[in-house]
Amino acid sequence: MKRRSLGLLVSAALVATGVVAVPAEAHGSDQQVVGYYTNWSGYARNFLVNDLVKNGSAARLTQINYAFGFVDAQGNCTSSDPWADYQRPFSAEQSVNGKADEPGQVLNGNLNQLKQLKQKYPKLHISISLGGWTGSATFSDAALTPASRAAHVKSCLDMWLKGNLPGLPAGAAKGIFDGIDLDWEWPGSEGNPGNVIRPEDKQNFTALVHEYRKQLDRLSRHGKYNLTAFLPANPTMIDNGFEVRKLFKDLTFGTTQGYDYHGPWEPLTNQQSAIDGPKADPTTPEFSSQVTIDAYLSRGAPRSKLVMGVPFYSHGWTGVTNQNHGLFQPSTGPAPSTFDAGTEDYRYLKANLANYTVYRDNKAGFAWLFDGTTFWTWDDPTEMKRKTDYISHRDLGGAMIWSLDGDTANGELITALHRNLR
């Protein structure tokens, strides 16, 4: 499955070795540290749930968003990959608890591994993330009427929170998820081609979030379930699809898109996650974390509920003109990469870092790599610290990672991120 591409107006489409010993519940921050773990991470990338223990991520996260559950044409929740989610058996070497899955056991797959992870780290919250770039086609239909919203939410809570998975005994996956993460890309704006879009998506998304909050509260007996949403960077998309002040009354927090500001769908090289817009940027309008965070604050989002996204991956161009260290230069197209042209995990670029020179814009707050013809955006531990300094300086609610499989085997990025949050 392709890494999701979190579109702006023009977007069309995303090793070090060793083991880190981190004590369980080593969270030292009052802020959220949220990471997406995808159900395709265990295929070509071979990044399993137990790797979150090995590289220290699990001990440093406050919440994992497991991506993605889909919504079918009838508005019901469904698994996007039953094999990965709850059918795949894991060996003792692959499992979190060091024990092999046994033939005939009720629950297998990533969900059983997440269950084991939760046993090891009982303060770690885990939410099911619904939608994503390729899974948002029928969200508009599900949110259309009070009846469709109520039925959709009931379906999702029944499947993911009550744990009633198709073909398994009732409640087989109960207790794994502590909440719902809504990742509708995007209400009222174009996302993946073929998505249903309506002008009334904006108001309907607010109503859908409220319906989730109501049903989650009825389901809860010992405190609230988390309810979060992934929110776009583009102010135009914010205004098209999100009643910000109303939404945050029902959300535990919202995670903002902090990446894909630019990418190889554009002809010129550029930053993808700058804190502020560089003055020499020839493109308009400006996209940056400063623009995004200011947009949400000005529309009524509480600072403490704004969790800023950071990338554990890079965007790249090749055939780049050898001027200005490759920045803001024309290219011939996306750079070759391990999985998807134009997108590369941090761990793979780090392994080839000797081939590149690192450049930084310390004023605008971003970095890049260039070898004379190939250009990559670059978010390393130095840039993670820069981002967490910004998060803390603006009293935001924390950081969100897309996605956890991009880090090194010794957890360079999650270590830098966690260490520098207050």
Distance of CA 237 to the CA centre of its chain: 18
Per-residue pLDDT of the chain (422 residues; tens, 9 = 90+): 333 333 333 333 333 323 333 333 333 458 999 999 999 999 999 999 999 999 999 999 999 999 999 999 999 999 999 999 999 999 999 999 999 999 999 999 999 999 999 999 999 999 999 999 999 999 999 999 999 999 999 999 999 999 999 999 999 999 999 999 999 999 999 999 999 999 999 999 999 999 999 999 999 876 789 999 999 999 999 999 999 999 999 999 999 999 999 999 999 999 999 999 999 999 999 999 999 999 999 999 999 999 999 999 999 999 999 999 999 999 999 999 999 999 999 999 999 999 999 999 999 999 999 999 999 999 999 999 999 999 999 999 999 999 999 999 999 999 999 999 97
The widest CA-to-CA distance across the chain, in whole angstroms, is 62
- Among candidate residues 247, 245, 246, the one with its CA nearest the CA of residue 298: 245
CB-based contact 198:140 (threshold 8 Å)? yes
**Active site (annotated) includes residue 185:** yes
Which residue type, as a one-letter code, is found at position 297?
L
Measured CA to CA, the distance from residue 322 to residue 375 in angstroms comes to 10
Q: What is the pTM of this model?
A: 0.94
C-beta atoms surrounding 43 within 10 Å: 15
Report pLDDT digits (tens) over 371-396.
999 999 999 999 999 999 999 999 99
Measured CA to CA, the distance from residue 381 to residue 400 in angstroms comes to 15
Which residue is it, tokens 């269950």?
115
Strand 63-71 relative to strand 32-38, pairing: parallel
CB-based contact 154:215 (threshold 8 Å)? yes
Which residue type, as a one-letter code, is found at position 49?
V
Measured CA to CA, the distance from residue 224 to residue 171 in angstroms comes to 20
- Among candidate residues 317, 306, 251, 262, the one with its CA nearest the CA of residue 285: 262
C-beta atoms surrounding 222 within 10 Å: 4
pLDDT reported for residue 17: 29
DSSP result, 147-202 = HHHHHHHHHHIIIIIS---TTS-TTTTTTS--EEEEE-S-TTS--STT----TTHH
Query: CA of 263: how far to CAs of 260, 288, 334, in Å?
Result: 6, 13, 9
Name the DSSP class of 326: G
Pick the catalytic residue from 93, 102, 185, 190: 185
- The helix-helix angle for 146-156 and 201-219 (nearest 10°) equals 50
Report pLDDT digits (tens) over 347-356.
999 999 999 9
- Among candidate residues 177, 231, 232, the one with its CA nearest the CA of residue 209: 231
Name the DSSP class of 56: S
Report pLDDT digits (tens) over 91-135.
999 999 999 999 999 999 999 999 999 999 999 999 999 999 999
